[in-house]
Amino acid sequence: MAALLSAGCGGAEADRSGPWSGAAAAAWVGAIDTVDGVVRVSTSAGGARLELREVLRIGGDDAPDAPRFGQVPDLVSDGEGGVWVLDVGSTEVVHLDAEGAETVRFGGPGEGPDRFQSPRRLHRSGDTIWVEDLGSLRWSAWSSAGAHLGVVALPPTLAGGEASWTADGLVAEVTGRADDGTRLRWAGRWRAEGDAFVRVDSFAPPPVPEPYALQTTVTRQGREVGLAFPLPLAHQPRHMPHPDGRRWVITPGGGDYRFQLAEVGGEVVREIRRDLEPVPVPESARQAAIERLPAELRETEADRVPSVYPPFDRIVVADDGAFWLVRSTGDGALSFDLFDPEGRFGGTVEGAPEHAGFWLHAADARGVWGVRRDAAGRAVILRLEWAEG
């Protein structure tokens, strides 16, 4: 398996075209400086106004002859305009080309080395497709033609964690839920040796400025029990993998438009900021969120429920290192901010109302792949591309 793990991330040479390659790049207003070893990229103005246009729809009630999918927890770009789809309904992985045609299908339910029990996510490393299977506690490797290449056993400590990959092997960073509500408790790195993962080291992930969970103690059957509830309407700390193995880190921060790039070991090396007025939470929505809390927390923690929405929810990184931020608009509308690989803002992309509920999985220079559900609850694969608005 060592030869498989030496393949670099990505496939064909990255297409660096994007909204930041033309007029938007010339109109960008901001600053790039270095403070205490951290590169800070701040955008104060500029960026194009873009819209997302649907160019491909696969599955759903209105496409009875197209491939049908049950639950789709993950998609990855093939680097050439197509996409790999993990369908846990059939327990298979399917490749769709840029026209939406199925070209490869592999896997299926079972216990053999080329079967899956509970597949969870995909990763593409060059021409190799990796499938994490929590049911059998292993990653399995496949060629882009659908040939099974082998398996690597997954230690129980890695099951369910977050993993990022580098060109020289798997670097897995695992975060656990801490009792104080910070979630980012510990992390480690593992490398495949033969047919198993071996721990290389462990380290502390970047700290969370303040707990995002509300803590309380209640009495149940004569004894005290500690409870934690997510802070309503607030950022949840997230780590998103960068193609080179580093991590984009979102930490709780009210309405501040700020996120960081951290080395595998946790050292912050880049910080991205953008001047943007936060979106207020309607008082009725805020009060409704407070009312959903347990009575013990409503009495003591109501003031901590934010009055503005967090500016974004998560990050999806494209093959060339550019990235899409999923915006938090408060009204459920589909909206993304695009940044070039250096962190300069390229524009805001608005989706159509019929794309509400779209979950972005994979991005490239021209657009995104994602999933939404039809009226029957089946997964519909969508390809959306940006265009000048």
Give tens-digit pLDDT for 280-297: 899 999 999 999 888 878
Over residues 124-138, the mean pLDDT reads: 87
Q: What is the DSSP letter of 206?
A: P
| Predicted local confidence at residue 323, as pLDDT | 86
Tell me the per-residue pLDDT of 325-338, one tens digit each, with 9 for 90 and over: 888 666 667 788 88
> What's the mean pLDDT when you consider all of the chain?
78
- Strands, E assignment, 67-117: 74-77, 83-87, 92-96, 102-107
| Predicted local confidence at residue 95, as pLDDT | 96
Task: Give the integer Cα–Cα distance in Å for 260 and 192.
Answer: 28
Report the candidate in 240, 256, 257 with the shortest Cα–Cα distance to residue 248.
Answer: 240
Over residues 102-118, the mean pLDDT reads: 94
| Predicted local confidence at residue 37, as pLDDT | 92
| Number of other CB atoms surrounding residue 182 within 10 Å | 20
Tell me the per-residue pLDDT of 36-79, one tens digit each, with 9 for 90 and over: 999 999 998 877 777 888 999 988 766 556 667 888 999 999 98
Beta strands across the sheet bearing 128-133: 119-125, 128-133, 138-143, 148-153, 196-203, 187-193
Please state the separation of Cα 188 from the chain's center in Å: 19
Tell me the per-residue pLDDT of 66-75, one tens digit each, with 9 for 90 and over: 667 888 999 9
Burial 294-331 (b: 16+ CB within 10 A, else e): eeebeeebbeebbebbbbbebbbbbbbbbbbbbbbebe
Tell me the per-residue pLDDT of 3-18, one tens digit each, with 9 for 90 and over: 443 333 333 333 344 5
| Predicted local confidence at residue 310, as pLDDT | 84
Tell me the per-residue pLDDT of 343-378, one tens digit each, with 9 for 90 and over: 998 888 887 777 888 889 988 878 889 998 888 778
pLDDT at 214 > cutoff 90: no
Over residues 132-157, the mean pLDDT reads: 86
Tell me the per-residue pLDDT of 239-278, one tens digit each, with 9 for 90 and over: 777 767 677 887 666 667 888 888 866 788 999 999 888 8
Please state the separation of Cα 327 from the chain's center in Å: 13
pLDDT above 90: percentage of residues in the chain: 21
